[in-house]
Amino acid sequence: MPVVSSICDSATGLLSLDQAVERLLENVPRIRGEERLPLAQALRRVLSRDVSTPLDLPCFTSSAMDGYAVHAGEAVPGASLRVIGTALAGRPFPRTLGRGECVRIFTGAPLPAGADAVIVQEETSRNGDAVVLMAPMPLKSGANVRHQGEELKVGERLLPAKKLLGPADLGVLAVAGCGDVDVIRRLRVAFLATGDELVDPGQALAPGFIYESNRPVLHALLTEMGMEPLDLGRVGDDRESIHQAMWQGAEKADVVITTGGASVGEADYIVDLLQERGQVEFWKVAIKPGKPFVFGRLGTTPVFGLPGNPVSMMVTFLQLARPALLRMAGTVPVRPPRWRVECRQRLRKSPGRLEFQRGVLDWRDGMPGVTALAGQGSHRLTSMSRADCFIVLPPESTGVEAGEFVDIELFGFL
C-alpha cells in the first residue's frame, strides 16, 4: 500500500535537525553564578572549575587480592616461607619482612615494608606457620599489587570544569576526600501549556476536554537534568494571557518553554507574539514529529516553543531544547549516539523529514533488532512510555524492509 504524502512532509525552507541544533547552541547564553554544595546534593550539577586531586590515588600501595605478601625474588615454585603476621584493610602489618618471611594479607590492606608482590591464596598450601608456594611460574615484582598513585598523582586533574556530575563522578570526588564541590547554579526553566481544551489531572473532565500531560513530563525531564523547574501552569488560547504568562516566565527564569500554540492554527499565538513583542530566531524544523518548533526571545530571555501534541513535545525537547539547555547550564552537550540494528518489520515513511519512530529493542540469537510500535501518532503518549528507543529514519528514506538495518537512539542515554 503506497504512502500518501502530506503537506507536512515537505522540508522546503525548513532547517535540518543539525542546522537547528547548531543555531541553538550558537545563540543561547551560558548562565553565570556558582555555589558550593556537599556531594550528596551535587548529582546532575555542573562543575564550575577544574578539580585537582589533593592526594595520590590510591593513597598507599595495597594488595589487590587475598593471599600472602612476599618479596618477589623469593616467590619461586616450591619455595617455603614463614608467616610472621597478618595485614588487614585498616590494620596494616607494622614490621618489615625479612628473608624467607611473608605476611597473610587481604584485599585492600597496605603492603608491608619489604614486600613487593602478593601471591594469591589459591596458589599456596598452608601448614601451620609455613606456606609453600604452588604457582607454576616465579612471581614478578608488582604482581597483584595496587601501587600508590597509579591512578592519579597528587595535583593532577580529577574532573574538568563543565562536567555534568553523575554517580561515578561523586564517587571519584569522595575517594579523593572532597566533601564539597563548586558547581554552577541551577538553570531556572519556566514552562507553560496553552490550550482551551486542557484540564489538570484530577479534575472533572467535560466533553471536548483533555487532561494536560505536557507539564508533568517537562517537570520530570527538567528535574532529571538537574534544572530548576518553574511551572507557570496552563493558559487558555488568549493572546494577552499567553503573553503575560510568557513575560512572567522571562522575568523569573533563564529560559521559557511553551507547549502548544506554535503551529499555524487560528488559536496558535506563540510565533505571532514573539514576532510582535520579541524576536524569532527560527521556526519549523524538518523532523517528524515536531515540525512546528520555534526558537525566539522575549527581551534577552530565550524562548523554546514546543508543539502541543505530547510525543511531538517530547521529541523536540529531547532533540532540540535539551542540548540548548545543557549549553546554557554550562556543560558541553553531547548528541545521543546512534547504533545500527536490524529492523524486524517493514516500516513506511514519506520522504522529506528526519523521522523519529518509537521502537522496542530486542535480542535474537545474540543479535539486536528493533520493532516499531503499532501506534505512531504524535498524540499517542503511550508510544513513548512503551518504547525504549527512537528509530531514526533519514529524510530521503521512503521506508525500510524487514531485515534491513536502521539507526536507533536509546532512551537510556537521553
Give the C-alpha separation, 373 to 357, whole Å.
8
- Write the CATH number for 16: 3.40.980.10
Residues 235 and 367 in one domain: no
Tell me, yes or no, whether 2 lies in a domain. Answer: no
Say if residue 268 is in the same domain as residue 387: no
Give me the tens of pLDDT residue by residue for the chain, a chain 414 residues long: 334 344 445 555 799 999 999 999 999 999 999 999 999 999 999 999 999 999 999 999 999 999 999 999 999 999 999 999 999 999 999 999 999 999 999 999 999 999 999 999 999 999 999 999 998 899 999 999 999 999 999 999 999 999 999 999 999 999 999 999 999 999 999 999 999 999 999 999 999 999 999 999 999 999 999 999 999 999 998 999 999 999 999 999 999 999 997 666 655 789 999 999 999 999 999 999 999 999 999 999 999 999 999 999 999 999 999 999 999 999 999 888 999 999 999 999 999 999 999 999 999 989 999 999 998 888 889 899 999 999 999 999 999 999 999 999 999 754
The CA dihedral of 233, 238, 244, 246, to the nearest 10 degrees, is 60
Same domain, 280 and 198: yes
Co-location of 285 and 256 in the same domain: yes
Cβ(261)–Cβ(267) below 8 Å: yes
Position 335 scores a pLDDT of 87
Assigned domain for 100 exists:
yes
Close Cβ partners of 19 (under 8 Å, ≥ 6 residues apart): none
pLDDT attached to residue 2 = 37
pLDDT tens, residue by residue, 224-243: 999 999 999 999 989 999 99
Go through 25-37 and write b for each residue having 16 or more CB atoms within 10 A of its CB, e for each that does not.
eeebeebeebeee
Task: Please list the helix, strand and coil fractions of the chain in percent, rounded to the nearest 5, in that order.
Answer: 20, 35, 45
**192 and 243 assigned to the same domain:** yes
Q: What angle do CA 116, 147, 85 make, to 5 degrees?
A: 45
Give pLDDT, residue 265: 61
| 370 occurs within a structural domain | yes
194 contacts 215 by C-beta, under 8 angstroms: no
Cβ(243)–Cβ(270) below 8 Å: no
Total domains in the chain come to 4
Distance from C-alpha of 304 to C-alpha of 292, rounded to nearest angstrom: 11
What crossing angle do the helices spanning 239-252 and 270-277 adopt, rounded to 10°? Answer: 60
258 and 320, same domain (yes or no): yes
pLDDT in tens, 95-117: 999 999 999 999 999 999 999 99
CATH code, domain carrying 136:
2.170.190.11
Nearest to 384 by CA among 290, 314, 336, 319: 314
Burial of residue 84 (number of CB atoms within 10 Å: 0-12, 13-18, 19+): middle
Structural domain range at position 359 = 339-410
Instruction: Write down which residue in 311, 329, 347 finishes a domain.
Output: 329
In our burial notation (b when 16+ CB lie closer than 10 A, e otherwise), range 132-158 reads ebebeeebeeebbbbebbebbeeeeeb
Question: Which of 85, 118, 146 delimits the end of a domain?
Answer: 146
Predicted pLDDT at 236: 92
Instruction: Tell me, yes or no, whether 26 lies in a domain.
Output: yes
Asked if 258 and 372 sit in the same domain, the reply is no
pLDDT score at 377: 87
Q: What pLDDT, on a 0 to 100 scale, did the predictor assign at position 266?
A: 54
Considering only CA atoms, which of 82, 86, 116, 87 is closest in space to residue 102? 82
Question: Does 190 lie in the same domain as 180?
Answer: no
**Structural domain includes residue 230:** yes
One-letter identity of residue 347 = L
